[in-house]
Amino acid sequence: MGRDISKCSRAELQECKAELDRRYAGYVAENLKLDMSRGKPSGSQLDLTNPVLNKLENYITCDGIDARNYGGLEGIPEARRLFSDLLGIDVDKIIVGGNSSLNLMYDAMMRLYVFGTGGHTPWRKLPAVKFLCPSPGYDRHFLVCEDLGIEMIPVPMTENGPDMDMVEKLVAEDDAIKGIWCVPLYSNPQGVCYSDETVDRLAAMKTAAPDFRIFWDNAYGVHHIYRECKLKDIFGACEAAGNPNRVLYFFSTSKITFPGAGVALVASSAENLKEIRKHMSVQTIGHDKLNQLRTVRYLKDAEGVRRHMRLLADELRPKFDIVLNTLERELAGTGLACWTKPLGGYFVSVDVPDGCAKAVVALAQQAGVKLTGAGAAFPYKKDPRDRNIRIAPTYPTCEELQKAMELFCVCVKLAGVNKLLESK
Amino acid sequence: MGRDISKCSRAELQECKAELDRRYAGYVAENLKLDMSRGKPSGSQLDLTNPVLNKLENYITCDGIDARNYGGLEGIPEARRLFSDLLGIDVDKIIVGGNSSLNLMYDAMMRLYVFGTGGHTPWRKLPAVKFLCPSPGYDRHFLVCEDLGIEMIPVPMTENGPDMDMVEKLVAEDDAIKGIWCVPLYSNPQGVCYSDETVDRLAAMKTAAPDFRIFWDNAYGVHHIYRECKLKDIFGACEAAGNPNRVLYFFSTSKITFPGAGVALVASSAENLKEIRKHMSVQTIGHDKLNQLRTVRYLKDAEGVRRHMRLLADELRPKFDIVLNTLERELAGTGLACWTKPLGGYFVSVDVPDGCAKAVVALAQQAGVKLTGAGAAFPYKKDPRDRNIRIAPTYPTCEELQKAMELFCVCVKLAGVNKLLESK
């Protein structure tokens, strides 16, 4: 436990600052060049997946289709089956697409915006469309809303998911609220796992908008690192609650095999899929079936995915250890930071003193360590308290990460001390 | 040269019909099951590209990027360079995307519809948006317009491209006309190559709509079979005419390497690309760079593509010979059909007597040969004269194709004779 810096006298703070300035200068002198800004796997993590690059010996799918040729909008049967088994989703609900679940989400939002759903007014024709954005959250989700001029309403996160009291109140009152972004397992950036109660309440809540949609981005659905969180079946919960069309479910192998060269899926009710297929079949003749085949041939089946994810967890665990241990050693008890201890996923979320996040990111940047921009995890990039920073530990090597985390902690303390000195 | 059936007496027609009915029944008895409905390559054509399936030994791009990881919205440099060399387009104008140029076209249309371009009113906010559709044309282009409720205006094709007198008149008069679909080389389905004059007139014509766009789908840009048609540089022509932002250029390797597993590109002016990137960067983190690398490693360079296309031409030429020779032998001089003799591309377009196309397709279908639906090559699938049929000879084997073409000719004659008998 460090000294509680927030309780120091001015003289103690100045002493502290002198020491931190020295340490910081030491890092600057090292000319570091490290990137912790995005959730990118490292080269050695990617190496674990290299068999996907092997020659594709057989290009005939299990139903006898030549995957080299046109067709197959819904994806090859073996891919649909694998993801069905892995995620517990009916095969019939799944369309396996191209390389990007973000692309599937963007296009899904675009279809709701342009065409509407279920005979309701297309969102583009409404005076206002709003989306609930549990925050901190995934910046690229928020950019999709921003691109279409959809107003974003931040909702605080709790350890069980979004603040459901607030969510229920908002969606019941305002029919302009058309949906919510969710990363239900190991959420980006906090690593929160939605509780069964959260899933049930999302599925069952009364929404003023009849065409309310949950964008269920299960990006880290199999990304257990320390222990496995179980996620309640959202489809089952929605069906039980009489809201079978409420969910659009997304998943991808971007963080299982290769980012940008994996396969993504959208899953939804028969009624929603019918609408999706109608427009998707105009947009494309089909997605890359050879890459679907490559991916499935490597992963083999649901158990094969879980086996592969254990390899990745072994690769990532030491990195999460470094992040969490360094935070603990350097910042615990200082009164300058609190952070999440995720059981899986790709990120650790750190809250520094109010008004200090931008300063911390700038300090780290000046010393050669690129962090995710402060505020990135909030709608419009505006962290109302300027305190949240996302740590993405996957890309650097362990050695780089150790150094970067030590620097990060120095930056947090330095920014905190500066802030305290200002206010004394 | 056959007998001119259109000039036969009723008795001669009845005799003719009896003979045709016998031949037709013979085909029906064979229980054929052949598909000439889509422009799909055959298995043996695809085999020519199998080296693309080989192990990807090296996944580092020419600028040192690990193609297994995230990033690179514009495509890997070696892919952009290859297509730049091949098509004579500035590298800076090119974004190499995913597996489908149709997808790039759909998304481009969607952006114009939702966001507009150059500060002009987004098309979704206009009371009417119209597109010129040179017809017969590519059915999937027309479906894009239909999906978005864009009104389609058919424009007749000539041997030099769309009827430019009509095009110029229409676009000058009506500011609701926002664009035109073009397949400028070996057009689908007629195999028409746009003349230099057509290119120049498209580039220079005065349009009432300031945000008029040419969707330039050069799908068959390197698909020479008998002889190479040269296509004038549309970008150069547009720039020379002071309309640098008029063109959205599309291309793909779907009919070079593997359909649905190749790479596609969109090319446009710096100003247009800036808009495209703005939204595309929200839609996706990047396209499949490993597949771009696979494709470029196989094709190597522009000359490599041309070499590969000569292999494909050798594969396709016998099929086009079968189609053209059988049409000549069975239908020349009968007064019942005329057809195009394309120098490249993927199709042959046959005009049968007015009001007979649907009947021909139905007769062929009943005898086990699936043709492209009659009318498919026209907006709203409505061939005003019900006379056009697209022959797609690439998928069947030569033996199958020979049989299918003989049946086709019998169907044309039978439908023609039936029609003549009705009217006598």
pLDDT tens-digit series, residues B62-96: 999 999 999 899 999 999 999 999 999 999 999 99
Which candidate from B56, B106, B290 shows the least CB-CB separation from A282? B106
On whether any CB of chain A is under 8 Å from the CB of B381, the answer is no
Closest approach of chain B CAs to the CA of A87, in angstroms? 23
Residues contacting residue A12 through CB under 8 Å, at least 6 positions apart: none
Cβ of A106 within 8 Å of Cβ of B144? The answer is: no
Reference A199, options A224, A162, A145, A158; nearest CA is A162
Question: Residue ranges per domain, chain B?
Answer: 5-46+306-423, 56-300
Q: Choose, out of B69, B74, B254, B295, the residue to mutate when testing the contact with A (most A CBs < 10 Å).
A: B69
Is the pLDDT at A246 greater than 70, yes or no?
yes
Tell me the chain A residues in contact with residue B261 when contact means C-beta distances shorter than 8 Å.
Answer: 67-68, 288-291
pLDDT at residue B138 greater than cutoff 80: yes
Read off the pLDDT of residues B291-309 as tens digits, 9 standing for 90 and up.
999 999 999 999 999 999 9
Q: Which residues in chain B are closer than 8 Å to A38, comparing Cβ atoms?
A: 70
CA–CA gap between residue B224 and residue B308 (Å, rounded): 11
Retrieve residue B391's tokens.
């022959």
User: In chain B, which residues have their Cβ closer than 8 Å to the Cβ of A285?
Assistant: 100, 102, 140, 259-260
Residue B398 touches partner A, C-beta closer than 8 Å: no
Residues facing residue B338 across a β-bridge: B351
Amino acid sitting at position A35: D
pLDDT at A424: 74
Instruction: Report residue A406: phi and psi, to 5°.
Output: -65, -45
Q: Does the beta-carbon distance from B68 to A55 stay under 8 Å?
A: no
- Considering only CB atoms, A124 lies closest to which of B106, B124, B287, namely B124
Average pLDDT over residues A309-335: 97
Measure A136 CA to nearest chain B CA, in Å.
Answer: 19
Peptide bond between residue A210 and the one before it cis (omega within 30 degrees of 0): no
CA distance B178 to B199: 18
Please tell me the CATH code under which domain A53-300 is placed: 3.40.640.10
pLDDT of B310 reads 97
pLDDT of residue A91 exceeding 70: yes
Rounded to whole angstroms, the Cα distance separating B191 from B319 reads 15
Mutate to test the interface with A, among B276, B279, B288 (most CBs of A within 10 A): B288
With cut-offs at 50, 70 and 90, classify the pLDDT of residue B423. Answer: confident
Query: What pLDDT, on a 0 to 100 scale, did the predictor assign at position B346?
Result: 96
Letter for the amino acid at B255?
Answer: K
Contact A260 B100 (CB under 8 A): no
Of the candidates A258, A261, A279, the beta carbon closest to that of B147 is on: A279
Are A344 and A185 spatial neighbours (Cβ–Cβ below 8 Å)? yes
Q: What ranges make up the beta strands (E) of B66-200?
A: 94-96, 130-135, 151-158, 161-162, 177-182
Nearest to B260 among A102, A261, A289 (CB): A289
Task: Say which residues have a Cβ less than 8 Å from residue B192's Cβ, sequence separation at least 6.
Answer: B157, B158, B159, B160, B161, B186, B340, B342
Rounded Cα distance between A362 and A367, Å, is: 9
Residue B389 pLDDT > 70: yes
List the single residue in A40, A56, A99 with the smallest CB-CB distance to B98.
A99
Q: Provide mean pLDDT across the span B360-375.
A: 96
Q: What is the CATH number of domain A5-46+306-423?
A: 3.90.1150.10
pLDDT tens digits along A248-289: 999 999 999 999 899 999 999 999 999 999 999 999 999 999
All residues of chain A having their beta carbon less than 8 Å from the beta carbon of residue B76 are: none
φ and ψ at A391, to 5 degrees? -100, 125
- Give the strand pairing for A264-267 and A94-96: antiparallel
CB A79 within 8 A of CB B260: no
Residues of B in contact with A148 (CB under 8 A): 114
Q: Does the structure show a pLDDT above 70 at B36?
A: yes
A70 touching B, CB under 8 A?
yes
**With respect to CATH, is domain B56-300 assigned 3.40.50.970?**
no
Q: Do A99 and B40 touch (CB under 8 A)?
A: no
Q: Which residues of B touch A59 (CB under 8 A)?
A: 53
Residues 6+ apart with CB under 8 A from A124: A113, A114, B114, B124
B250 strand-pairing partners? B217, B266
pLDDT tens digits for B176-212?
999 999 999 999 999 999 999 999 999 999 999 999 9
- Residue at B341: amino acid letter: K
B382–chain A Cβ distance below 8 A for any pair: no
Return the number of CB contacts < 8 Å for A and B: 148
User: Span A84-101, mean pLDDT?
Assistant: 98
B145 close contact with A: CB closer than 8 A: no
* Cβ contact A287–B260 (<8 Å): yes
What letter would DSSP give residue A61? -
> Is B259 within 8 Å of A290 when comparing Cβ atoms?
no
B73 in A contact zone (CB under 8 Å): no
Mean pLDDT of chain A: 97
Q: A42 to chain B: nearest residue by CA?
A: B69
Query: What integer pLDDT is reported at residue A423 of this predicted model?
Result: 85
Q: Is residue B1 predicted with pLDDT exceeding 70? A: no
Residue bearing tokens 């296509």: B231
User: Mind listing the pLDDT tens digit for each residue in A210-224?
Assistant: 999 999 999 999 999
Q: How far is A384 from chain B (nearest CA, A)?
A: 23
If DSSP codes are grouped into helix, strand and coil, which group holds residue A150? Answer: coil
ipTM: 0.96
Question: Residue A25 corresponds to which amino acid?
Answer: A
B203-217 residue pLDDT tens: 999 999 999 999 999
Report yes or no: B107 at the A interface, CB cutoff 8 Å. yes
**Nearest by CB: A99 against B107, B113, B287:** B287
For chain B, give the mean pLDDT: 97
- The confidence score (pLDDT) of residue B163 equals 98
Tokens linked to A417: 């001390």
CA atoms of B164 and B202, how far apart (whole Å): 8
- Chain A CB contacts of B110 under 8 Å are 110, 114
Chain A residues with beta carbon closer than 8 angstroms to that of B286: 100, 260
How far does CA B172 lie from the centroid of its chain? 27
Whole-number Å distance between alpha carbons of B283 and B305: 30
* pLDDT higher than 60, residue B218: yes
Taking a C-beta distance cutoff of 8 angstroms, is the pair A53, A272 a contact? no
A chain contacts of residue B114, beta-carbon cutoff 8 Å:
110, 113-114, 124, 148
Percent of chain A with pLDDT over 70: 100
Contact B196, B231 (CB under 8 A): no
The pLDDT of residue A222 is 98
Closest CA to A256 of A304, A294, A312: A312
- B283 and A146: CB-CB below 8 Å? no
Percentage, residues of chain B above pLDDT 70:
100
Two tokens, residue B193: 């190559």
CB proximity B41 to A under 8 Å: yes
Using CB atoms, pick whichever of A46, A103, A114 lies closest to residue B283: A103
pLDDT higher than threshold 80 for residue A1 = no
φ, ψ (nearest 5 deg) of residue B184: -75, -20
- B-chain residue closest to A280, CA distance: B103
pLDDT in tens, B5-25: 989 999 999 999 999 999 999
CB contact (8 A) between residue B68 and residue A46 = yes
Task: Flag whether pLDDT at B3 surpasses 90.
Answer: no
Taking contacts as CB-CB distances below 8 angstroms, the residues of chain B near A73 are: none
